[in-house]
Structure 1
Amino acid sequence: MDPKKQQLRIRYHRDFDGMVSGAVLAHALRKEGENPILLSVNYDERKNWDSFEAGKRFAIVDFHFHPRAEYWFDHHPTTFLTDELRAAYSPSDRWLWDETAPSCPPLIIKHCEEHLGYEAPERFQDAARWSDIIDAARFESVDQAVFGDDPALRLMRALTASPNPAWVDKLATALVTESLRDVALRSDVEKVYDRASRNRDKALEQFPPTVVWIEGGVVFFDASSSKVRRERFAPFYHHPEISYAVGVIPTRAGFHITCGENPWNKPTNGVHVGEMMEEYGGGGHRAVGGANPPSLEKALELGEEFAERIVEHLTR
């Protein structure tokens, strides 16, 4: 690496898909003489997107497009924050967007193979397979999704109880040189995983009272209390007959409307959740999405409206 050259910052979305994406790109670019640093990014950093990482060299993976990114890879249909940003994108040897991809790591591996002559080690091929399963909810069953014990699923679970973003950065950095199994067996991961598992069990116990109504294949729930633990697949664990779960949950910045399609009971005439969420200032994929209204009152109002719209669509 040129000592005068500023260190490249790889900004990755703070989840399993993003973490693996960051590790893969970092490994590939090390072969090109770079020594990247891995730093997570989340939705709160979209507010001043024009000035994001001003004066820095950076790459973005599994997150919104930025025209100043030296490298950028994503698969989210709602990746472009404005029409102008969409117009600024065209595929290149450093940028790639494929909204049909289940997750981001396979995109990066294939692209780096084609453009950099990169050969991804088997541990990254394995991580990419798991990323597809996790990000596209291709689990064999709801039990695997909730109680699965494979290294990738243990890491996925541990991330739900992450003590802070810096801890996730440590895991992402470890994945550059270590396997999923090695990282999952770290003592700090074991500790966080145990806490996350207790949170999961508590969330499954707490979910039923949060249900406001069930109608037409949709459940609407209010888990806005900070005392209620959240488990992504709890609605489908308790109500396998439903096709969609819509709810309100708390975040560090306020409240979030979340919607997900049941991977094990998909409707024949489903909706595009991400596109619908764009109408509420959010986004996502076909099967999952979310939005962040300005208040709890508004989140409950719009969340219920969203759920009712899906019921109307399904029962036409």
Structure 2
Amino acid sequence: MRVKVFYHDKCFDGACSASLFTRFHRECIAPDAAYEYHGLVHRAGALFDESEFTGDENAIVDFKYSASPRITWWFDHHLSAFLTPQDHENFLACQKDPVCGSRKFFDPNYTSCTSFLAYIASTKFGFNTEPVKDLIYWANIVDGALYESAEAAVEMAAPAMKLTLIIESTQDPEFIPRLIPLLTEMPLSEVLAQPFVASLLPPLLERHAEGIELIRSRSEEVDGTIFFDITDRQVEGFNKFIPYYLHPKATYSIGLSKSSFRTKVSVGSNPWTKADPAKMVNLAQVCERYGGGGHARVGAISFPPDQADKARQAAAEIVAELRAKNPMA
């Protein structure tokens, strides 16, 4: 059997979910299967190319729902999991089918897709999660921004944090597919020590230090909301906790950045804020108004790379809205 696993690209939880799915599927479903990996990114326009669903089984983990009948497995935990009401209706109809409903799963209450997948695999299929408990722990920390402090998130002492930096920054399309199987085969410290991984870290740490200084020079906090625009520098990723490391009293952060395939509006909230959670804005809902999505506390919107003006307008509107709703005021 040939299984093709589609995962949220350039995302630690996406890579961990793909690795965990592989181990679960091999141990509980098809011991002799061969696995291939294909990264998916949020971008303006169509997110899926159905011609790529070429496996005997096709799985999507940590990414939006596809109603394609070629998709045989799906796991996601994002509030904005469904692109259209029709997709949601398709999923609900699927749940009534004994075959389809036993292979497509959604629960936005889980911190990471990795932990959600582990729960489903263990409770419904008898998968043993004990050997991968460290991976599940770190997927929750990274995807849920559950670091003890902004310093811990930005200074990145843990192997998982260094791996996250590499995963979010790589431009090599073969790197993450090569990395994925290792994540459930060895401790993260050993994964980081692999020569093809370790060699990438020093220049990325240097670029990370430059990113801190760039955002320091571009960011401004007003009424509890940070804004910065680095679209004149083509970057494929930056540590999303840098704004709170620099402005620890802020509640929200909106950043404009540009990569090779999109102009991105990053919308986040400070994991260490003292604000009343009941007064916090649901950022997934804010991003959905512009075609984006995410979680209640962090989201993003993708525009084509030539639509920086539209991205800048959306960012300005969101900045104004969040500054007007400062929960610390």
Q: TM-score, normalised by structure 2?
A: 0.88
2:108 pairs with one of 82, 99, 103: 99
1:13 pairs with 2:13:
no
1:165-204 equivalences in 2 (<5 Å):
165-204=173-212
What is the Cα deviation at residue 161 of structure 1?
A: 2.5
The answer (yes or no) to whether the contact 2:118–2:129 under 8 Å persists in 1 is yes
SS in 1 for 2:185: coil
CA distance in structure 1 between the aligned counterparts of 2:170 and 2:58, rounded to whole angstroms: 24
Q: Name 2:123's counterpart in structure 1.
A: 114
CA distance in structure 2 between the aligned counterparts of 1:227 and 1:71, rounded to whole angstroms: 35
The answer (yes or no) to whether the contact 2:59–2:74 under 8 Å persists in 1 is yes
What is the Cα deviation at residue 205 of structure 1?
A: 1.2
Distance verdict in 2 for CA 1:207–1:196, change over 3 Å: same
SS in 2 for 1:245: strand
Share of identical aligned residues, percent? 25
What is the Cα deviation at residue 221 of structure 1?
A: 1.0
1:247-266 equivalences in 2 (<5 Å):
247-266=255-274
Q: Name 1:271's counterpart in structure 2.
A: 281
Distance verdict in 2 for CA 1:22–1:227, change over 3 Å: closer
CA distance in structure 1 between the aligned counterparts of 2:242 and 2:320, rounded to whole angstroms: 20
Q: Name 2:172's counterpart in structure 1.
A: 164
Letter in 1 for 2:291: G
What is the Cα deviation at residue 314 of structure 1?
A: 1.9
What is the Cα deviation at residue 230 of structure 1?
A: 3.4
Q: Name 1:297's counterpart in structure 2.
A: 309
1:153 pairs with 2:161:
yes
Letter in 2 for 1:9: K
CA distance in structure 2 between the aligned counterparts of 1:146 and 1:50, rounded to whole angstroms: 35
The answer (yes or no) to whether the contact 1:161–1:192 under 8 Å persists in 2 is no
What is the Cα deviation at residue 49 of structure 1?
A: 3.3
The answer (yes or no) to whether the contact 2:13–2:143 under 8 Å persists in 1 is yes
CA distance in structure 2 between the aligned counterparts of 1:209 and 1:237, rounded to whole angstroms: 13
Distance verdict in 2 for CA 1:36–1:54, change over 3 Å: closer
CA distance in structure 2 between the aligned counterparts of 1:240 and 1:48, rounded to whole angstroms: 35
Q: Name 2:291's counterpart in structure 1.
A: 281
CA distance in structure 1 between the aligned counterparts of 2:222 and 2:73, rounded to whole angstroms: 45
CA distance in structure 1 between the aligned counterparts of 2:3 and 2:44, rounded to whole angstroms: 18
What is the Cα deviation at residue 46 of structure 1?
A: 6.0
Letter in 1 for 2:58: F
1:211-222 equivalences in 2 (<5 Å):
211=219, 213-222=220-229
The answer (yes or no) to whether the contact 2:42–2:302 under 8 Å persists in 1 is no
- Superposition RMSD on alpha carbons, in Å? 2.0
Q: Spell out, residue by residue over 1:16-67, the C-alpha distance to the aligned partner (whole angstroms, 9 max, x if none).
A: 1011111111011112223322222222496163736345431000001123
CA distance in structure 1 between the aligned counterparts of 2:151 and 2:142, rounded to whole angstroms: 13
Q: Spell out, residue by residue over 1:214-267, the C-alpha distance to the aligned partner (whole angstroms, 9 max, x if none).
A: 221001111111267833112111110111111211121231111110111152
2:88 pairs with one of 86, 89, 99: 86
Letter in 1 for 2:65: F
Q: Name 1:24's counterpart in structure 2.
A: 20
The answer (yes or no) to whether the contact 2:16–2:180 under 8 Å persists in 1 is yes
Higher relative contact order (CA 8 A, sep 6+): 2
The answer (yes or no) to whether the contact 1:130–1:152 under 8 Å persists in 2 is yes
Point out where structure 2 has 5 or more consecutive residues left out of the alignment: 96-100
Q: For this pair of structures, how many residues does the alignment match? A: 309
